[in-house]
Amino acid sequence: MTLGIPAETKKGESLVAASPKTVGQLVKLGYSVIVQKGAGDKATYSDAEYAEAGAKVADAKAAWGADIVTAVNAPGSAALDKMRKGSVLISMMSAPSSPDYIADLAKRGITGMALDAVPRISRAQSMDVLSTMSNVSGYRAVIEAAENYGGMFTGQMTAAGKTPPANVFVIGAGVAGLSALGTAASLGAEVRAFDVRPEVGEQIESMGATFVQAEAAQQEVSSDGYAKALSEEQEKLTAIMYAEESAKADVVITTALVRGKAVRTISAEMVAGMKPGSVIIDLAAIGGGNCELTVPGERIVTDNGVIIVGYTDLTSRMPKHTSQLFGTNIVNVMKLLTPGKDGQAVLNYEDEVVRGMTVAHAGEVMWPPPPVNVSAAAGAPVAEVPVVDPVEKARLAAEAAAKKAKRRLIGSAVAAVLVVLAIASSPMSFVSYFTVFLLAVVVGYYVISGVSHALHTPLMAQTNAISGIILVGALMQLGSTNIAVLVMSFVAASIASINIFGGFLVSYRMLGMFQKEA
């Protein structure tokens, strides 16, 4: 079968549905790939590269006339006129908001498979273009923020003085939000993030950001992977938190987009309370915008000097890598459709992924698809969270902190007395060794606890060196006739060996993530 990759018809689009690398993968699946001449020019992929990968470079008529046509955006009527009846179109289609377009595909006898309708289940993650686009958008959002922000993201200490790091607040910890906060943190900014789903708090903190706690404003996740709508009381509490966080932020990145529609998170009043020169990057501008003042597709500056960026083409501003990732999603779809790797696509509608993507087939509209059975187990009931008065909550928190500090002080005092008594009754040789041991523990604790998450892998290399010293010392003592020394040396050698080999193994895996694929 032939597989066509035409140039995008959307005005200003710089993406292409395949890179030379993914074309090679499609050829290995048995397809005869036809790439329209110049289709990859804006993504810096030349026709010669496509030809070298095994594709045939031809005109638009040949690309659109293939058995299967893959595109980034849903092609218009003029392009559909070039497609054959019975052919398959694979692209993003915004199916929930495009009933007329789907009906037109059915009328033309074209099988439509919407890439942005891939079910949100584990085995379909490699085909999820929404996650791909969101990941790129989150990264690009930070680049746009850095471009518009009048300062540096990381704090600086120079002979001329010091500057504080930028304060970045990210709303939403989905794929785009996590990508944004991870990028901002890597640039040295102080990042805070909030999501209505409490279970993502650990993911936020693992990326080096601070999870903003607002228990009464958090909600469970619905069965389709999106957060459920907040109650009226939860919306009020969330708005208060957004106002507080945005007022002290230098950069606010909003990502709240549910099923293509933006959720209002930043009001005009909140913008008025922000600092002059601060920046809002609205990733939900394509769905209307999370900020009340966002103008989709444009960059505006408010009367109080706040910059609001509502670009809707962030992924297209990074065409080379976005096209590569998008093309990989398509390769994974074609692998699913080509079980025999013989260049023959098989549309098995009993497969929930294939059925979920298919919006039109054989003259019939097949949208919406039947619900996907994610789990047979019933969801756990959600307990109502009582709303606590903020003043009372603060008082209770202060009392709890004071009690905890008192317990810690008493425990430390008792431990110190016991240590002093043990040292006083021990020989001098033991005291000197014990002193070195305590200093190593204290120094090690403060060194490791003060290191950023991003530096844990380099730190592991240093701890491997320290463990090597421990191992050498333990081996030297293994011949001792003192049973206590012998046992302690054996334990030290065993633990140090585990730490060394385990450390090298983890470091090797981490470095493998940054190696170029063959």
pLDDT per position as a tens digit, 88-101: 999 999 998 899 99
Q: Is residue 455 part of a domain?
A: yes
* Residue 417 pLDDT class (50, 70, 90 cuts): confident
In the three-class reduction of DSSP (H, G, I as helix; E, B as strand; rest coil), residue 78 is classed as helix
Which residues lie below 8 Å from residue 424, measured CB to CB, with a gap of 6+?
A: none
User: pLDDT confidence of 278, banded at 50, 70, 90?
Assistant: very high
Nearest in space to 252 (alpha carbons), one of 140, 141, 361:
141
Enumerate helices (H) and strands (E) in the chain, giving the number of each.
16, 19
Give me the number of domains the chain comprises.
Answer: 3
Is 178 found in the same domain as 263? yes
**Shared-domain flag, residues 138 and 86:** no
Single out the residue in 276, 296, 313 at which a domain terminates. Answer: 313
Report the distance separating Cα 437 and Cα 434, nearest Å.
Answer: 5
Say how many C-beta atoms besides its own lie within 10 A of residue 240's C-beta: 13
pLDDT beyond 80 at 290? yes
Residues 322, 274, single domain; the answer is no
Residue that is written with structure tokens 């913008």 in the block: 271
CATH of the domain at 64: 3.40.50.720
Positions marked active-site: 120, 125, 128, 131, 226
Q: What is the pLDDT of residue 382?
A: 45
Q: Are strands 257-258 and 279-282 parallel, antiparallel or unpaired?
A: unpaired
pLDDT value of position 424 = 77
Whether residue 408 is contained in a domain is answered as no
Distance CA 196, CA 213 (A): 10
- Reading the block at residue 149, the tokens are 């922000």
Rounded to an integer, the average pLDDT of 487-514 is 79
Q: What is the 3-state secondary structure (H, E, C) of 253-274?
A: EECCEECCEECCCECHHHHHCC
Give the model confidence (pLDDT) of 32-42 as tens digits: 999 999 999 99
Closest Cα to residue 70, out of 90, 85, 94? 90
In this structure, are 287 and 322 located in the same domain?
no
**Residue 384 pLDDT:** 47
Residue 138's nearest CA partner among 197, 201, 185, 80 is 185
Q: Identify whether residues 161 and 246 lie together within a single domain.
A: yes
Distances (CA, A) of 371 to 322, 359, 469: 30, 14, 59
> Does residue 89 sit in the same domain as residue 186?
no
Q: Which domain holds residue 174?
A: 134-313
Strand pairing category for 261-262 and 299-301: unpaired
Examine residue 244 and state whether it is found in any structural domain, yes or no.
Answer: yes
For residue 385, is it within any domain?
Answer: no
For residue 212, the Cα-to-chain-centroid distance in whole angstroms is 18
Backbone region of residue 270 per phi and psi (left: phi > 0; alpha: psi in -120 to 50; beta: other values): alpha
Last residue of a domain, one of 313, 341, 357: 313
Query: Which residue has better confidence, 213 or 342?
Result: 342
pLDDT per residue as tens digits for the range 160-216: 888 999 999 999 999 999 999 999 999 999 999 999 888 888 999 999 999 997 655
Q: 159 with 263, same domain?
A: yes
Q: Is residue 518 in some structural domain?
A: no
State how far the alpha carbon of 239 is from the alpha carbons of 36, 181, 282, 305, in Å. 49, 21, 17, 22
Q: Is residue 383 part of a domain?
A: no
Percent of the chain whose pLDDT exceeds 90: 60
- Portion of the chain with pLDDT greater than 70, in percent: 86
Model pLDDT for residues 442-470, shown as the tens digit of each residue: 766 666 666 555 555 555 665 666 777 78
- Are 139 and 278 contained in the same domain? yes
Q: Same domain for 185 and 268?
A: yes
Q: What is the mean pLDDT of residues 294-322?
A: 97
Across the chain, mean pLDDT equals 87
Do 214 and 323 lie in a common domain?
no
Q: Is residue 127 part of a domain?
A: no
Pair (237, 281) in one structural domain = yes
Q: Hunting for tokens 């690009």 — which residue is that?
A: 140
- Tokens representing 268? 């005009």
Q: Is the pLDDT of residue 349 over 90?
A: yes
Same domain membership, residue 276 and residue 336: no
pLDDT at 249 over 70: yes
Is the Cα dihedral 230, 122, 514, 91 positive or negative?
A: negative
User: Is residue 502 situated within a structural domain?
Assistant: yes
Longest dimension (CA), the chain: 94
Angstrom distance (rounded) from CA 75 to CA 81? 10
Side-chain half-sphere exposure of 475, counting CA atoms within 13 A: 8
What does the pLDDT read at residue 13? 96
Query: 443-454 burial, b if ≥16 CB within 10 A, otherwise e?
Result: eeeeeeeeeeee
**Where does residue 479 rank: exposed (0-12), middle (13-18), buried (19+ CB within 10 A)?**
exposed
Q: Has residue 329 got a pLDDT over 70?
A: yes
Taking phi over 0 as left and psi of -120 to 50 as alpha, with beta for the rest, 167 belongs to beta
pLDDT band at residue 392 using 50, 70 and 90 as cut-offs: low
Which are the contacts of 457, defined by CB distance < 8 A and separation ≥ 6?
506, 507, 510
